A = this chain, B = another copy of it.
């Protein structure tokens, strides 16, 4: 964890009260924890705007496993980029549909490009990339 700093922050009492209600509703039991999470959110956003920023994220794909050769194609693509793919998770949603989550690591531009290539594959119905951490931050 490293060293901890304790800082003072000046906030209008009204605004603080509304913030306390909001974070309580979200499940926070500790105000500093909420502040730290907001800070990390800003840092992750900033890192993912920089094409060369190192990030970790996940891309979630929904696809129809009946589409001919799709599973093979997705597997091939993953092996071509294995050094950017840390792990995958597969869920059988229903008779036709699979959901697959891939955890990606690399420069923001590479991660985004790889996610786009997966999402654009014929048979993949929908996909979304969630960049979750800046490596610098870990």
Contacts and interface: CB of A to CB of B under 8 A. Distances in A.
B3 A22 contact: no
A133 B2 contact: no
A2 B57 CA distance: 34
Query: SS class of chain A's interface: helix, strand, loop or mixed?
Result: mixed
- Oligomeric state, in copies: 4
A69 interface: no
A82 interface: no
A87 to B, nearest CB: 5
20 contacts: A6-B11, A7-B8, A7-B11, A11-B36, A15-B36, A15-B43, A15-B137, A22-B46, A26-B116, A28-B120, A35-B35, A36-B125, A38-B38, A40-B126, A44-B128, A87-B89, A87-B91, A93-B138, A126-B137, A128-B132
